[in-house]
Amino acid sequence: MRAIYPGSFDPVTLGHLDIICRAAKICDSLTILVSENPAKNNRLPVDLRVKLIEELVSHLENVNISTWSGLTADYAKKNNFDLIIRGLRGASDFESELEMSQVNSALNGIQTVFLMTSPEYSFIRSSRVWELMEFGGDFTHFVPANVAERLRNF
Ligand code: ADP
């Protein structure tokens, strides 16, 4: 199966990386699809978000990275992907993820497979990293070392 894992990855966190490594083990190939959508007001530019992920996955032979500014379902159809991977942290993710998976299925019949968060990462989200940075909190346990290093100088 060829899968895509779409998201903003603004920035990529230990929670994302855990999903990437686990998905790579169960799919033949995994494309991390980094959203370029300017309407989402991402803090890090897309090329930096991609670079940070590249540094983390270069040892994973069946993982590659792409960027896209349109609908995930369109990208999946255009490139003949079999499924979408998403992560679920808990009930707060469930409703929006359910809806999104149903929209993607209605658009082109693509299925979404959900991987449950690992307990040690269930509270990690990109927006929280920025909150911690803003108030001088220690965010280094939330992100891989290369991301922490880059954010310190941001
Ligand atoms: P989006 O902007 O599309 O919500 P994100 O970059 O925030 O993208 O997240 C991409 C995917 O990774 C989503 O499915 C999200 O639920 C999942 N995810 C994010 N953080 C975690 C985590 N700590 N554990 C498991 N899944 C996660």
Decide if 16 is catalytic. Answer: yes
Q: How far is CA 104 from the centre of its chain?
A: 17
Do residues 8 and 33 lie in contact, with contact meaning Cβ atoms separated by under 8 Å?
no
Three-state DSSP class for residue 14: helix
Please give the share of the chain, as a percent, with pLDDT higher than 70: 100
Mean pLDDT, the chain, rounded, equals 96
Tell whether pTM > 0.85: yes
Which one of 43, 51, 77, 89 is the catalytic residue? Answer: 89
**For 5-34, what is the mean pLDDT?**
98
Instruction: List the residue whose alpha carbon is closest to atom 9 of ligand 1.
Output: 7
CB atoms within 10 A of CB 65: 18
With bands split at pLDDT 50, 70 and 90, how would you rate the model's confidence at 80? very high
Residue 49 CB less than 6 A away from ligand 1: no
- Convert the pLDDT of each residue in 23-64 to its tens digit: 999 999 999 999 998 777 899 999 999 999 999 999 999 999
Three-state DSSP class for residue 77: helix
Do residues 112 and 104 lie in contact, with contact meaning Cβ atoms separated by under 8 Å?
yes
pLDDT at position 41 is 86
Is residue 154's pLDDT more than 90?
no
Task: Please give the distance, rounded to the nearest whole angstrom, from the Cα atom of residue 8 to the centre of ligand 1.
Answer: 8
**For 84-93, what is the mean pLDDT?**
95
Q: How far is CA 13 from the centre of its chain?
A: 9
Residue 87 CB less than 6 A away from ligand 1: yes
Partners of 49 in the β-ladder: none
With bands split at pLDDT 50, 70 and 90, how would you rate the model's confidence at 134? very high
**Cα–Cα distance, 22 to 17 (Å, whole number):** 9
Decide if 86 is catalytic. Answer: no
